[in-house]
Structure 1
Amino acid sequence: MKQLSNDLQHCIDNCNACITAARICLDQHLGEPDMKKCHQLCLDCIALCTACVQMLASQSDYASRVCAICVDLCKACAEECGKFDSEVCKQCAEKCAACAESCVKMAA
């Protein structure tokens, strides 16, 4: 297998950071009724970013398509988490936005 490019590795790193931040956000706020949309988006980000990491690492021919969807989902999660004052929500929003930015390059 050929070595990963810097952009590819950067995207993988940002996806992993997004997974971690979304997990922390979800764990800290699980069960809070006003955060139901946040919970769902965090769960979706964890699932899709995990798939994205795996496909990027294997340099799948379909990685760019998965990254394109990841852009939309991570932007939505960043927007939703950004609505809350919680430090973990703000961290999640930041990591999701960075992931979306990296995935834009991979989706091109």
Structure 2
Amino acid sequence: MKPLNSELQQCIDDCNACITAARICLDQHLGEPDMKQCHQFCLDCIALCTACVQLLASQSNYSKRVCAICADLCKACADECAKFDSEICQQCATKCNLCAESCQKMLA
């Protein structure tokens, strides 16, 4: 297996940061009824970003396809989290946007 290039490593790092931010957001706001959509997006981001990291790290032939979906999902999560005033939600939105941008770069 060849070494990871800097763009690939950056995408892995951004996905991991997104996983962490989504987990914190979910933990902080779990059970708040007006945030059900936010909860679902955070859960989905945690699952898909984890898969993305694994495929990127192994340099799988399927990583581009997963990155495409991950970019869409992370953008949707960022848009949802950005609706809330919570600093935790705003941080999640920022990390999700960075992840979406990194995943989008992997498609080139």
TM-score (norm 2): 0.99
CA distance in 2, matches of 1:72, 1:104: 9
Aligned residue number for residue 106 of structure 1: 106
Unmatched 5+ residue regions in structure 1?
A: none
CA distance in 1, matches of 2:2, 2:41: 33
Partner AA of 1:38 in structure 2: C
Partner AA of 2:95 in structure 1: K
Aligned residue number for residue 28 of structure 1: 28
Partner AA of 2:31 in structure 1: G
Note if 1:3 corresponds to 2:9.
Answer: no
Q: Any residues of structure 2 matched to 1:1-108 within 5 Å, and which?
A: 1-108=1-108
Unmatched 5+ residue regions in structure 2?
A: none
Name the Cα RMSD after superposition: 0.4
Partner AA of 1:67 in structure 2: C
Q: How many percent of aligned residue pairs carry the same amino acid?
A: 80
TM-score (norm 1): 0.99
Partner AA of 1:48 in structure 2: L
Give the deviation of 1:60 after TM superposition.
0.1
CA distance in 2, matches of 1:28, 1:21: 11
Give the deviation of 1:69 after TM superposition.
0.2
